[in-house]
Homo-oligomer: A and B are copies of this chain.
Amino acid sequence: MKIQGVMPPIPTPFDPATDEVDYEALRFNVDRWMKTGLAGIVVLGTNGEAGLIDEDESERIVAAARERIPRDRLLVAGTGRESTRGAVAAARRAGKAGADVVLVRTPSFFKGQMTPDAFVRHYMAVADASPVPVLLYNFMAATGVNLLPATVARLAEHPNIIGVKESGGDMAQVADLVSLTPDDFSVLVGAAPTLYASLCLGASGGIVAAACVIPEECVRLYELTGAGRHAEALALQRQITPLARSVTSGFGVPGLKAALNLAGYRTGAPRPPLQPAPAAAIETLRQQLGAFQEVALSS
């Protein structure tokens, strides 16, 4: 089961008045994404504010998304937890609620203890117990720990571990992930600004925040690269990059939510301590989105 293509790590809509999950808005958004060429949907990732959401809510979010995602598209659910038993339980609940794949971020709190062997034990236990296939997830900028390519290679031998999402921008590490793992192992990039370069190096797809906002452009970048149309792919990458930055490192989850609200999705506000994007950020996003609407109109 190789994952190919582009998937958005979707935000979780919260009602600004009550701070509760707005499942209706979630379904509305998923319906809209399902009209595009996206390969699936990722819920409860970093951009889904997973760390701010409790276990019961998590289960309902998976179920709500599943209602609107046809079986020929993937529903991936983030289920990383700091303890192995917590990660096992979360994977089981997500699988039961309808996830096709679980995305399991590295535990990271006890950084000094997170050796390669600790990662191997953790992921092996999760993969043994999970009712659905497991995607590893490395996001060093957020966690402060690095799941090295050599460790990923060890884990790729487990039949229930099917790939890795790598969110770092270091292409040498992406290249190593591709080189050291089997051909049917999915290496997915986690940052849109390096999507084209990662695809050149053999990544099979991406889970990138920009794909929430401009799904068709991200899918097209994937397709152009696959077709060997490198000059066009690179030109499109350059168009995508500024907006891709704004909805990640630039303005964070608040920026992603603001951009989606501008584009007609319904995401409400982030959960505190996160705050809505400030007016200046929204104005920047409006301009960056405007450029894409022109592209859409002219093509």
Contact = CB atoms under 8 A, between A and B. Distances in A.
Given A86-B52, A197-B197, A201-B197, A175 B275 contact: no
Q: Which of A114, A202, A238, A249 has the most CB of B within 10 A?
A: A238
Contacts of A176: 241
Taking chain A's interface residues, is the majority helix, strand, or loop, or is none over half, making it mixed?
Answer: helix
Interface residues of A, number: 58
Interface string A179-204: 10000000000010110110011100
B111 A142 contact: yes
A274 B119 CA distance: 10
Q: Which of A46, A169, A171, A197 neighbours the largest number of chain B CB atoms within 10 Å of its CB? A: A171
A237 interface: yes
A288 interface: no
Interface string A257-273: 00000000000000111
Contacts of A191: 172
Contacts of A200: 196-197, 200, 230, 234
20 contacts: A51-B109, A53-B83, A111-B141, A111-B142, A112-B249, A113-B253, A113-B275, A121-B272, A169-B171, A170-B170, A171-B193, A171-B194, A171-B197, A172-B194, A172-B241, A175-B193, A175-B238, A197-B201, A200-B230, A228-B230
